Amino acid sequence: MATTATVHAHAAPQGFIRKYIFSLDHKVIGLQYYFLALVAVFVGMALSLLMRIHMIWPTAVLPLLGDIKPETYLQLMTMHGTIMVFFVLTTAPQSGFGNYFLPIQIGAPDMAFPVLNMLSFWTTFVAFVVMLAAFFMVGGAPLHGWTGYAPLSALTNSGPGEQLGADLWITSIAIFCIASLMGALNFITTLLDLRAKGMTMFRMPLTCWAWFITAILGLLAFGVLLSAGILLLLDRNLGTSFYVPLVVVNGQVMAHKGGSPLLWQHLFWFFGHPEVYIAILPGMGVASQVISTFSRKPIFGYKAMVYAIMAIGFLGFMVWGHHMFMSGMSPYSAFAFSIMTMAIGVPSAIKTFNWLGTMWGGRIRLQTPMLYAIGFVSLFVSGGLSGPFLAQPVLDIPLHDTAFVPAHFHLIMGVAAIFGIFAGTAYWFPKMFGRMMNETLGKIHFFITLAGTYAIFMPMHYLGLAGQPRRYSQFTEVAYLHHLIPLNTFITYAAFVTVAAQLIFVINFFWSMFKGPKASDNPWEATTLEWTTATPPPHDNFGGHTPVVYHGPYEYSVPGAAKDYIMQNDPVGVPAH
Of residues 232-251, those binding another protein (CB under 8 A): 234, 238-242, 245-246
Pick out residues in 390-449 that bind another protein (CB under 8 A). none
Figure out which of the listed residues 65, 485, 500, 548 binds another protein, where binding follows CB under 8 A.
Answer: 548
110 binds another protein (CB under 8 A): yes
HEC letters along 344-359: CHHHHHHHHHHHHHHH
Amino acid at 502: Q
DSSP letter at 50?
H
199 lines the binding site for another protein (CB under 8 A)? yes
CA distance 448 to 443: 9
* Closer to another protein by Cβ: residue 388 or 571: 571
Q: Label the pairing between strands 252-253 and 248-249.
A: antiparallel
For the bound state, the minimum distance from the C-beta of residue 105 to another protein, rounded and expressed in Å, comes to: 12
Sites for another protein among residues 335-354 (CB under 8 A): none
Q: Which is nearer to another protein, 227 or 378 (CB)?
A: 227
Q: Which of 55, 74, 104, 108 binds another protein (CB under 8 A)?
A: 108
Q: Does 197 bind another protein (CB under 8 A)?
A: yes
Q: CB of 265 within 8 A of CB of 154?
A: no
Quick check: 559 binds another protein (CB under 8 A)?
Answer: yes
- Are 292 and 374 spatial neighbours (Cβ–Cβ below 8 Å)? no
Q: How far is the CB of 9 from another protein (least distance, A)?
A: 8
Question: Is 203 a residue that touches another protein (CB under 8 A)?
Answer: yes
Cβ atoms within 10 A of the Cβ of 257, count? 11
Judged by phi (left if over 0) then psi (alpha if -120 to 50, else beta), residue 199 lies in beta
Contacts of residue 64, defined as CB under 8 A and 6 or more positions apart, other chains included, come to: none
Looking at the Cβ atoms of 396 and 540, the one nearer to another protein is 540
Count interface residues toward another protein (CB under 8 A).
86
Q: Which is nearer to another protein, 138 or 238 (CB)?
A: 238
DSSP 548: B
Q: Does 47 bind another protein (CB under 8 A)?
A: no
The answer to whether 287 contacts another protein (rule: CB under 8 A) is no
Nearer to another protein, 244 or 399 (CB): 244
By CB under 8 A, which span of 37-45, 197-205, 370-378, 456-464 interacts with another protein? 197-205
Q: Which one, 208 or 312, has the nearer CB to another protein?
A: 208
Q: How many Cβ atoms from other residues are within 10 Å of residue 1's Cβ? A: 5
Query: Can you say whether the dihedral through the CA atoms of 310, 316, 319, 322 is positive or negative?
Result: positive
Judged by CB under 8 A, which of 260, 378, 473, 489 binds another protein? 260
What one-character DSSP code corresponds to residue 556? B
DSSP labels, 121-155: HHHHHHHHHHHHHGGGSTT-S--STTTT-TTTTT-
What SS3 state is found at 330? coil
Whichever of 27 and 195 has its CB closer to another protein, that residue is 195
Q: How far is the CB of 239 from another protein (least distance, A)?
A: 4
CB nearer to another protein: give 3 or 250.
3
For residues 120 and 95, the answer to whether their CB atoms sit within 8 Å is yes
Instruction: Tell whether residue 546 is a contact of another protein (CB under 8 A).
Output: yes
Region from 226-234, 425-433, 482-490, 494-502 binding another protein, contact rule CB under 8 A: 226-234
77 near another protein (CB under 8 A): no
Q: Does 195 bind another protein (CB under 8 A)?
A: yes
Query: Do the Cβ atoms of 557 and 364 come closer than 8 Å?
Result: no
Q: What beta strand segments (E) does 132-264 contain?
A: 248-249, 252-253
Long-range interactions of 298-301: CB distance < 8 A, separation 24+: 298/358, 298/552, 298/554, 298/555, 298/556, 298/557, 299/206, 299/354, 299/358, 299/554, 300/353, 300/354, 300/355, 300/357, 300/358, 300/360, 301/350, 301/354, 301/357
Instruction: Name which of 108 and 415 has its Cβ closer to another protein.
Output: 108
Please count the CA atoms within 13 angstroms of the CA of 120 that sit on its side-chain side: 30
83, 228, 371, 460: which one contacts another protein (CB under 8 A)? 228
55 near another protein (CB under 8 A): no
- Looking at the Cβ atoms of 298 and 430, the one nearer to another protein is 298
**Residues pairing with 253 in the sheet:** 248
* Distance (Å, whole) CA 24 – CA 28: 8
What residues numbered 144-183 form the site for another protein, per CB under 8 A?
Answer: 181
Q: How far is the CB of 263 from another protein (least distance, A)?
A: 6
Q: Which is nearer to another protein, 191 or 481 (CB)?
A: 191
Nearest to another protein of 199, 418 (CB atom): 199
56 counts as binding another protein under rule CB under 8 A: no
Q: Which residues contact 100 (CB under 8 A, 6 or more apart)?
A: 26, 27, 30, 31, 34, 428, 432
Residue 221 binds another protein (CB under 8 A)? yes
Contact between 263 and another protein by CB under 8 A: the answer reads yes
Which residues ranging from 2 to 31 are in contact with another protein (CB under 8 A)? 2-4, 6-9
Binder to another protein among 134, 154, 196, 232 (CB under 8 A)? 196
564 contributes a contact to another protein by CB under 8 A: no
Check binding of 573 to another protein (CB under 8 A): yes
DSSP 291-322: HHHHHTSPPTTHHHHHHHHHHHHHHTTS-GGG
Q: Which is nearer to another protein, 160 or 245 (CB)?
A: 245
Query: What residues numbered 293-312 form the site for another protein, per CB under 8 A?
Result: 298-299, 302-303
